[in-house]
Amino acid sequence: IRDMARGNIVEVKGLNVVMTSFDLLDQLKARIKIYARSYDLEFSNFKEVYTLGGQIHMEEQELNVFKEFYGALFNLSETWDGVTEHIERQNIRHGGVLWQFELMHGKLP
């Protein structure tokens, strides 16, 4: 598990693991949960984290939904084209984004 997490989650640019947890269930049913925070609010970094550094394929339609979510999250104009990379931190009420990853026996990539 450590090697999988290190190779797939920890090495994604700007992602810092802040907490881990696990279910107290049978080993085959238990999930290991990894919580990581990213302070990089650029859209390109969101995509990097969401795809685990390009390891997970993302369809164009899914990318558009994700881009719409990102725009709504940061209150960007409807004409936002996804290319604008930097968001002024002083206009944001929080200092980053918390991500959760779940690992299960037999469901690892």
Task: Please tell me the distance from the alpha carbon of residue 69 to that of residue 72, in angstroms, as a whole number.
Answer: 5
Nearest Cα residue to 65 out of 48, 45, 82: 82
Identify the pLDDT of residue 67: 83
Check if the beta carbon of residue 20 is closer than 8 Å to that of residue 32. Answer: yes
pLDDT tens-digit series, residues 45-90: 878 888 877 878 888 898 888 888 888 877 777 777 666 555 554 4
Mean pLDDT, the chain, whole residue set:
75
> Would you give the DSSP letter of residue 27?
T
Nearest Cα residue to 11 out of 73, 50, 53: 53
Q: pTM for this one?
A: 0.65
